[in-house]
Amino acid sequence: MPAAAAQAPVLVALRGVGKTFLNGTHALAGLDLEVRAGEFLALLGPSGCGKSTALRIIAGLTEPTQGAVEWPQAAAAGNESRIGFVFQEPTLMPWASVFDNVLLPLKLAGTPAGKTAAARAEAALGRVGLEEFGHVFPRELSGGMRMRVSIARALVTEPALLLMDEPFAALDEITRFKLNNDLLELWQALRTTIVFVTHSVFESVYLSSRIVVMAARPGRVSGELAIDAPYPRDQNFRTSAEYAAFCRRASQALAQAMAAGADA
């Protein structure tokens, strides 16, 4: 982990977290994970290793079977309630306009309707470059634009923590690269904390300041890798020897994690 990130306070921590579903699936076992304020953390691992389950536990969408979720800063800053979540699919309301989709979290949070709520929704759309599309419906947008709306909806509450569950996995490579760059710009501008789930070595290296590698089910931390390359990152970094070296190290860590899962 970069020195600055290592000195940042812990925003949320999973301590010995396990999760067994009612059907008997043992998704997580003894997962220990600390997320520090301001970092861009990638959870990298094979499909089915419990990455999404860990994200949902952090978000409070499901409860752990064992262990605990700790919020050391929550009492002072209310961080536990300031979470944005971007799912694999945009999950937009097809009958509502883009603006109303983005406004929804504010309504659910009890924010009074009016100029303030509208201004926040418009600002969130502006951050993702869709300020001129508030009046249209999701069916009128491309896949990449719908994902931008989903990100705007997650940002409208100004979350301290943004959880992203493979949001770009279904997109074509050109769109995915563009959204990677846009996401990094947003992260640097807002300085929110991001936990990003992916099974792409290349995406995890390009985006993150730290990669946590998870072993196959039951999911647990197998290793981690600090990506010390400076920001901002661009096409020059993506084609550099430094990037290739980080990708090799991440690929090796992922291969070791998969071998460890096979032996479990």
88: in domain: no
149: in domain: yes
Say whether both 124 and 222 belong to one domain.
Answer: no
Q: List, for the chain, all residue ranges whose pLDDT scores fall below the cut of 50.
A: 1-3, 75-76
| Parent domain of 124 | 95-158
Task: Report d(CA 236, CA 238) in Å as an integer.
Answer: 5
What pLDDT score was predicted for residue 1?
A: 46
What pLDDT score was predicted for residue 99?
A: 97
Q: Which residues, in sequence order, are CB contacts of 24 under 8 Å at separation 6+?
A: none
How many CB atoms within 10 Å of residue 243? 18
Say whether both 140 and 168 belong to one domain.
Answer: no
140: in domain: yes
Contact 217, 261 (CB under 8 A): yes
Contact 121, 174 (CB under 8 A): no
What pLDDT score was predicted for residue 76?
A: 46
What is the total count of domains within the chain? 2
259: in domain: yes
What pLDDT score was predicted for residue 262?
A: 59
Say whether both 190 and 73 belong to one domain.
Answer: yes
Last residue of a domain, one of 109, 134, 158: 158
* Beta strand ranges found along the chain (DSSP E): 10-20, 26-36, 40-44, 66-70, 83-86, 161-165, 193-198, 210-214, 221-226
DSSP state of 133: -
Contact 225, 210 (CB under 8 A): yes
Closest CA to 251 of 208, 180, 192, 203: 203
181: in domain: yes
Q: Quick one: tokens of 203?
A: 């995406």
The residue type found at 135 is: H
What pLDDT score was predicted for residue 217?
A: 80
* pTM for the full predicted model: 0.92
What pLDDT score was predicted for residue 154?
A: 95
What pLDDT score was predicted for residue 110?
A: 80
